[in-house]
Amino acid sequence: MTNPLLQVEQRADVAVLSIDHPPVNALSQAVRGALQEAIEAADADCGSAAIVIRGAGRHFVAGADIREFDAAPRAPLLNDVLLRIEACGKPVIAALHGSILGGGFELALACHYRIAADDSLLGMPEIRLGLLPGAGGTQRLPRLIGARDALSIMLSGEPISCARAAALAIVDRVARQGDLLEKALAYARELAASGAGPRRLSERTVAQGMPAAEFIAEQRTAAARRFPGVESREAIIECVGAAANQPFEAGLALSRKRFEECRQSSASRALRHLFFAERVERPTMPVRAVSTVGILGAGTMGSGIAISLATAGLGVALVDTQAASLAAGVERVRTTLEAAVAKGRLEPAAAAAAIERVRADGEIEALAAVDFVVEAVYEDLDVKRSVFASLSRVCRPGAVLASNTSTLDIDAIAAAAARPQDVVGMHFFSPANVMRLVEIVRGRATAADVIATTGDLARRIGKLGVVVGNCFGFVGNRTLYAYGRENQFLLLEGAAPAQVDAALEEFGMAMGPNAVGDLAGLDVGYRVRRGRKDIAHDPRYYRVADLLVEAGRLGQKTGRGAFLYPNGSRRPVPDRDVDALIVAESARLRIARRAIDDTEIRERCLFALINEGAHILSAGIADSPADIDSIWCNGYGFPRFRGGPMFYADALGAAAVLAGIRKFAAIHGARDWTAAPLLEEIAAGGDTFAAWQGRRAAKTE
């Protein structure tokens, strides 16, 4: 058989089927067809006593071809291919290495025996896409390891190590990576010689049936916390229940039905959208070598960035000219890493090595030899310009100079440097060692290889780097100000902080805007607004937030903000004093207060956000609607099961969003409620932001 996606090799009396579909051997329709054809031929071949299925390249099979989920299923279905593999009359052995995920794990379970490389990872991450294992995984895995462990694997979405898989008897043999094929061949011949024959999981029953109701309730609660809004949580439990209580064929039919229902759900569509939105392409151009990184500023942000770099294996020079700040930053690095060890998130040796990689210094000259610098000082343009003038003098030629600014003009910062082509924005989100998102801000003079190098560094430290254009607030904070503006106006018009937050949390936001402000520190935005020259005067604009700051209510760090935080608690408690302050300010501004329903709260905040997103797409500040979605889902707590603000707009329909904006313009005026021309264009054509982006991308190819 000759097929570029699947090679068949006869090794004496063993047929070796090698799936070769780079980069991850995804089980596309063409691969499924080739595999089914090869299995039928090998099963019929009298010269083969056993069959080995393996993956070429770095992985066995890391899942299905997710792009196919947007269309109707095409034959042969994976279910049918796996049934044919399981029905083989001679032993079929899966030789596993790299990632064995989703459909790849289901393929391994359909084989009769499994041997794995000791560094392999196995998992069923379908729940992360709002799906369930639809090709027999919910039926075969419980029959192999019991319903309890099977539910834990499926509902967590997390992979397990080869050692754990061996302990659970998912894999029968373990080999070293370099010896895997030869060991698999030897195992196949051993099975054939002993007359072991096929071992079909479909013929087994689930030992001990379903676990106790208390365990299922715990799993249900944990999955709801990890994957809110995802229907497949319950479908997984139901299908595993069918494995325990029904014949294999009935459970398989149920799992296929539930898979199709989940595939077509809005949550799964949203999560699949984000899957691709967050797959950032690797640089195609050479990047600058980076092995040591300097951090200027040892505050909370600087020390968090240092932790991210050091745990990724990079040498870090942590510099702060204030001795007390430097000492506090070093201590913060140490205690944070030790806490990660205590929580089981980091091995002690890895934490010790990361701490050792961080070198503290009180002089900026310590950055002279580093490859990359991240400035993390006070958010003030004059301060940052002074810093970059010094960095361009001190740092070696070719070193990348990055500013961790959240709102400031990167071109104005770069203009202070002697080499603006080396300057880039690198906006980390707090806490930097936890938050995945980094906005990579390109300035007018930023060199292309600097952008590529910054993106590569973000990837190396486990961050999602999204390239954005330069304007006030870039993508994230510029759109946040539109969202937050409506929150502030709603407070003055009659909504309480707790009502606004509850309405948006009900929508799925991780936190409401008032609790977020308290967490970040209300004084941060206060300082930024004092430095802005680009907004028209409006006495209502962030007036409540300003009054809170001026009253010394800075948020969680002072125990008082929009809410109270008694005894150091992080749980917001409504405060009558804040309600009275808002009512008094409404009266002073002559704003009539009224009852406001939750629907209006959600529409005003979300439509303002979407409209601002359309503005920045037109201006080229965001490269695509998907980038805005990635930023909001990873930096601002937008619910993943809704796909991000621009995906949500497409789900609602641009016409519905435009109608809402026009409704609010008629009530509140056009200054804040003028529809973006792009939104009007998309609505007029009955179109979507995704389709608009697709046409635009096609024109540039």
Peptide bond into 76 cis (omega under 30): yes
Does residue 86 carry a catalytic annotation? Answer: no
Which is it for the CA torsion 69, 75, 79, 84, positive or negative? negative
Helix axes 598-618, 654-668, angle to 10 degrees: 110
- Write down the pLDDT at residue 280: 72
- Write down the pLDDT at residue 253: 97
Q: Does the pLDDT at position 1 exceed 60?
A: no
pTM over 0.75: yes
Peptide bond into 397 cis (omega under 30): no
Token code pair at residue 418: 């002697």
What's the number of CA atoms in the CB half-sphere (13 Å) around residue 394?
19
Average pLDDT, integer, range 547-560: 96
Residues in the chain: 701
- Write down the pLDDT at residue 144: 98
Burial (CB count within 10 angstroms: exposed 0-12, middle 13-18, buried 19+), residue 305: buried
Of residues 313, 303, 634, 630, the one with CA closest to residue 460: 313
Dist. CA 294–CA 463, nearest whole Å: 18
- Name the catalytic one among 37, 40, 68, 106: 106
- Name the more confident of 90 and 430: 90
Burial (CB count within 10 angstroms: exposed 0-12, middle 13-18, buried 19+), residue 76: middle
Burial (CB count within 10 angstroms: exposed 0-12, middle 13-18, buried 19+), residue 344: exposed
- Name the catalytic one among 9, 86, 126, 218: 126
Dist. CA 658–CA 660, nearest whole Å: 5
Confidence of residue 2 (pLDDT cuts 50, 70, 90): low
Dist. CA 296–CA 254, nearest whole Å: 57
Q: DSSP letter at 104? A: H
Of residues 232, 221, 208, the one with CA closest to residue 147: 208
- 101 neighbors 239 (Cβ within 8 angstroms): no
316-337 burial, b at 16+ Cβ within 10 Å, e below that, comes to bbbbbeeeebbebbbebbbebb
Of residues 442, 488, 465, 447, the one with CA closest to residue 672: 488
C-alpha dist (Å) from residue 56 to 17, 18, 182, 440: 10, 6, 14, 35
Dist. CA 69–CA 72, nearest whole Å: 7
Token code pair at residue 241: 């229940």
Average pLDDT, integer, range 483-509: 98
Q: What is residue 52's three-state secondary structure? A: strand
134-191: per-residue pLDDT in tens? 999 999 999 999 999 999 999 999 999 999 999 999 999 999 988 999 999 999 999 9
343-389: per-residue pLDDT in tens? 999 999 999 999 999 999 999 999 999 999 999 998 899 999 999 99
Q: What is the mean pLDDT of the chain?
A: 96
Confidence of residue 337 (pLDDT cuts 50, 70, 90): very high
Q: Does the pLDDT at position 533 exceed 90?
A: no
591-612: per-residue pLDDT in tens? 999 999 999 999 999 999 999 9
Neighbours of 177 (CB within 10 A): 12
Token code pair at residue 193: 């010689």
Dist. CA 26–CA 38, nearest whole Å: 17
Contacts of residue 505, Cβ cutoff 8 Å, sequence gap at least 6: 511, 512
Q: Please state whether beta strands 423-428 and 400-403 pair in parallel, antiparallel, or not at all (unpaired).
A: parallel
Average pLDDT, integer, range 277-306: 92
* Domains of the chain listed by start with CATH number: 6-264 (3.90.226.10), 292-468 (3.40.50.720), 476-700 (1.10.1040.50)
Q: DSSP letter at 282? A: P
Dist. CA 59–CA 101, nearest whole Å: 10
Reported in sequence order, the residue ranges of 457-508 that DSSP labels E, i.e. its strands, are 464-468
- Write down the pLDDT at residue 485: 96
- Name the more confident of 504 and 537: 504
Which is it for the CA torsion 94, 96, 102, 104, positive or negative? negative
Residue 124 Rama label (left phi>0; alpha psi -120 to 50; beta): beta
Q: Please state whether beta strands 121-123 and 160-161 pair in parallel, antiparallel, or not at all (unpaired).
A: antiparallel
Average pLDDT, integer, range 490-501: 98
- Write down the pLDDT at residue 661: 98
Confidence of residue 701 (pLDDT cuts 50, 70, 90): low
Average pLDDT, integer, range 186-210: 96
- Write down the pLDDT at residue 530: 84
Average pLDDT, integer, range 80-90: 98
Give Cα 547 to chain centroid, integer Å: 36
Confidence of residue 537 (pLDDT cuts 50, 70, 90): confident
Q: Does the pLDDT at position 536 exceed 80?
A: no
C-alpha dist (Å) from residue 442 to 416, 429, 450, 454: 16, 17, 9, 10
Q: Using alpha carbons only, what angle is made at residue 673 by residues 667 and 677, rounded to the nearest 5 degrees?
A: 140
Average pLDDT, integer, range 290-303: 96
The edge-to-edge listing of strands for the beta sheet with 292-296 is 358-361, 315-319, 292-296, 372-375, 400-403, 423-428, 437-441, 464-468
C-alpha dist (Å) from residue 213 to 152, 219, 220, 224: 14, 10, 10, 16
Does residue 126 carry a catalytic annotation? Answer: yes
